[in-house]
Chains A and B, each alone.
Chain A
Amino acid sequence: MARARGAIVPLAMLVFLVAFPTLVGFAGGGVTLAARILVLGLFGLGVDLLFGFTGLLSFGQAAFYGTGGFVAGYLLIHHIVPSTILALAIGMLVAAVAGLVVGSLALRQVGVYFAMLTLAFSQLFYFLDNSPLRELTGGENGLPGVPRAEVFGIHFSSLQETYAFIAIVYFIGFVVMRRIVASPFGHVLRAILDNPIRAAAAGHDVYRYKLVAFTIAAAYAGLAGGLLGLFQGYLPPDMFTIDQSGQIIVMEVIGGPGTLVGPLIGATVWIYLSQVLQNIGAIGSLWKLVLGLVFVLLITGFRRGIAGGVSTFLQQWQRREPAPVPSE
């Protein structure tokens, strides 16, 4: 029974991934938009492990997103690595190593210090990409010409096929992350989220656990970065910016931290709203202001995001109790 229940969520996710482009299509978006949202969703899975499950707010995830993307992209563009999977894996690995290094420094601090440190380190990556490594990364022009995915002789050449490839990777990433958060490791992370001192008192090496979580998040970011290059054929330098780090956090919070699907929901809402708002005549260039207000309202009133809010509502509804007034 429990086993069957455990399979429901992945199955539902699978169905959702198949239907997703159609849903996006109804909303007026294309399959590339669906692919982009999945990439951000995958990126966000790592952020969710960090923030939603461990309580670590990193403002520097863009560094790993960019690192993974540019490493994988560079290997593919220059045919150094023939296999897409291998290139993605190397990109992911390099991002993870970068995460390990940055994490081992940044995690010496907690809370706001940690956030500031990750932010500062991501700036370091940005400047490295932009100036000293310009010959490799294309500097401010980015890296064009990333070929489409090819796995075991199967070419994922059209946009639809590329979407399918990304959906498969996302699905695997989602299932793996579900296993991670359900594992004893995941339970310790949640214990750290609840009360780091208690977790330490219980004999857990809090720093080690955080570092592993940070490294996993960096690996997810790196993988997502590689996928962005695959479907877009182009790696933009703004993958490294503070804006990128901030945006993924905003998506995480809008969607609902600690839910795994939160970032996906957040990315959908953010991207969809930004497209819709831009095309409302009276709003136009004010779309960012409106989204900023929405974000501040959400974080103030609905701390658990859309996914969290919905699940709370469902639980309340099942118990036939009136939904509570959201409090701060």
Chain B
Amino acid sequence: MQVKRNALAGSGSSAEPRIVAALTTTAARAACCFVVRNVPLTTADGAHSAALHVIRSVEPYDIPTVAWIAAVTATLSAVGVNVRHPPQERVRVSFKDATAAPSAKRGATSPRKETDLPVNRTEFLKTGLGTAAGLGLAGAGWDWARAAETPIGNYPAGTEGSSVFVGLLCDLTGSYSADGEDLRKGYLLALDDLNNGTGVMAKIASLAGKKGLLGKKVEYKVADTETKPDPAVQHATEFITQNKAIMFCGGVSSAEVIAMAKLGQQQKVIYMTGASGSNDTTGKDCQRYCFRSQLDAYMVAASLGPHLVKAYGKNRKAIYLTPDYSYGHSLANSMKAETEKLGWKTVADVVAPFPTSDYSSYLTNIANSDADVFINIEFGNDGIASTKQAAQFGIMKKMQLVIPNISTYLPDGLGPEIMQGVYGTQDWYWRLQDRYPLSKIFVQDFVGRWKIRPRWTAHIAYAQTAIWADAVTRAGTFNPVNVIKTLEEGKPTNLMLGPVHYRAGDHQQVRPCPVLLGKKPSAMEGKDDFFDVVDVVPGERVMQPLEDTSCKLPAYS
């Protein structure tokens, strides 16, 4: 695609017929391949590597290119054109020139005017092919010289036009479809704000008064991950290879997020996570190209622990109900470590398979233990089912319920009767608008657009997009290496929770951690007014020490 654009730019004509454009593109690609195949390495090293660069930049089209070459060659042979030698000769010359003096060549290689359009068919094709080869390669050579930085991921290929592309991966069907829908709404608001220079985006210093990103419009598409890692990776791959995504983001389960983070690292495209609370995301599975904003399990435990001890006293006995997957275990272990440090005892950790719908067997064990605090690690629909059933077992009459990580729609599924007096954390909660002015703007804009209040998944979507946009603007380039390095500098971006930044060593966001307490039904103002914000714990205080994260970030390139 890049070759095509350059070829057109080089010819300096905007009103060229489409058919000519298509033909020249094809011919230019064909010529590149000829160069690679026919120019001896020893004599034209520079040209060879430059041509390789062109080939690489059109890599996803490699097989189509070959097919095109075959088709064009066949057609041309049929009309009696000898395709092999003339283009090769011209290419070789123009390429050497291009590498030697790119800027001069750029101006010089526009020998064709619109009036040159040939009359004779054979002549037409011949001229088209030759010129295109010259133009295309000169263009590519110029680009190669201009961008002294080596291409990486979809840079610069994805940034050549007047817009850049961002891929949004949302769980629109499957068990996290509600969270995924909230995520989608957050992204759409964020990107429209970015393109229009409105909302919270306009309040970010580097983005204020600007529309789009580095003067380019940000295009996007939404794909449904179906709450499964396989479709998530499938759609993300398409965004990267077909849409030349310069960034992709989303996912609601840690499994999806970890899988997409690996893809981002492999393809060298920045990935901003959706919802993912597992320590692994920025721990053993951390990636250079992945940034996570949500509280990890360690932060949840460290923010919540002191409040639990303050509220319920020391010397309490806790029992856990944990889903049998890595997120569940990491949160349970973090909670155990934190509360035991503060003087609590752990009676038992009851592990249930994932997913489970009937928890009676597990709850019987819990109900008949001598614990006095019930810490439910279950998440999403499993969290709802297990908590409902625990209430039926009368567990909450004997024990204090704690839900360390309260999933997006858990309070809606359980109702305020159960949620009242329950401590927990969320990535963000709309009541924080009373403390943070940007949260207020965010809630207002979101309600204005979608007629409902945002949940924390929408906050993640907006914040992750904004912090990336800020980093791109400050780096002044879409080059992922520069953007990552800018993010790693640790210069804070002022967002809905005040200034936040990523830790360089593991790409976990250092951010305020809201501690919530369930409201009494009578105290609720409206249907989604479930919590009081008890505290907002500064992130610096509750970060897991870097050496304990077992994160080894892979290389930049």
Taken residue by residue from 244 to 287, chain B's Cβ proximity to chain A (1 for < 8 Å, 0 otherwise) reads as 00000000011100110011001000000000000010000100
- Report the bound CA distance from A221 to B316 in whole Å: 52
B228 part of interface (Cβ distance < 8 Å): yes
Question: Which A residues lie at the B interface, using CB under 8 A?
Answer: 18-19, 21-22, 25, 28-33, 36, 127, 130-131, 134, 139-142, 144-145, 158-160, 163, 232-234, 236-239, 241, 243, 274-275, 278-279, 284-285, 287-288
B324 part of interface (Cβ distance < 8 Å): yes
B241 touches A233 (CB 8 A): no
Q: List 17 A-B contacts (CB under 8 A).
A: A21-B64, A22-B67, A28-B242, A29-B242, A30-B238, A30-B241, A130-B354, A141-B325, A142-B229, A142-B255, A144-B262, A233-B262, A234-B229, A236-B233, A241-B228, A285-B224, A287-B224
Shortest beta-carbon distance, A240 to chain B, in Å? 11
B410 part of interface (Cβ distance < 8 Å): no
In the A-B complex, the 9 residue pairs with the closest CB atoms = A285-B172, A30-B241, A236-B230, A238-B228, A236-B229, A22-B64, A140-B325, A21-B63, A22-B67
- Report the bound CA distance from A233 to B233 in whole Å: 10
- When distances are taken between beta carbons in the complex, the residues of chain B under 8 Å from A144 are 258-259, 262, 285
Residue of A nearest to B240 (CB): A30
B241 touches A159 (CB 8 A): yes
B325 touches A159 (CB 8 A): no
Residue of B nearest to A33 (CB): B238
For the complex with contacts A140-B255, A288-B224, 15 further pairs of A-B residues with Cβ separation under 8 Å are A22-B63, A22-B68, A30-B237, A30-B241, A33-B237, A134-B324, A139-B326, A140-B253, A141-B258, A141-B285, A141-B325, A144-B259, A236-B259, A241-B228, A285-B177
Given contacts A19-B67, A278-B222, contact A238 B229 (CB under 8 A): yes
B172 touches A141 (CB 8 A): no
- Report the bound CA distance from A288 to B221 in whole Å: 17
B60 touches A30 (CB 8 A): yes
- When distances are taken between beta carbons in the complex, the residues of chain B under 8 Å from A163 are 63
B150 part of interface (Cβ distance < 8 Å): no
B233 touches A232 (CB 8 A): yes
- Report the bound CA distance from A22 to B242 in whole Å: 13
B62 touches A285 (CB 8 A): no
- Report the bound CA distance from A2 to B227 in whole Å: 50
Within 8 A of A (CB), among B191-249: 221-224, 226, 228-230, 233-235, 237-238, 241-242
B353 touches A127 (CB 8 A): yes
- Report the bound CA distance from A127 to B324 in whole Å: 11
B324 touches A237 (CB 8 A): no
Given contacts A30-B237, A127-B353, A142-B255, contact A238 B230 (CB under 8 A): yes
- When distances are taken between beta carbons in the complex, the residues of chain A under 8 Å from B354 are 130-131, 140
- When distances are taken between beta carbons in the complex, the residues of chain B under 8 Å from A134 are 324-325
Given contacts A28-B242, A33-B238, contact A131 B324 (CB under 8 A): yes
Given contacts A127-B353, A131-B324, contact A236 B177 (CB under 8 A): no
Residue of A nearest to B239 (CB): A30
A159 touches B326 (CB 8 A): no
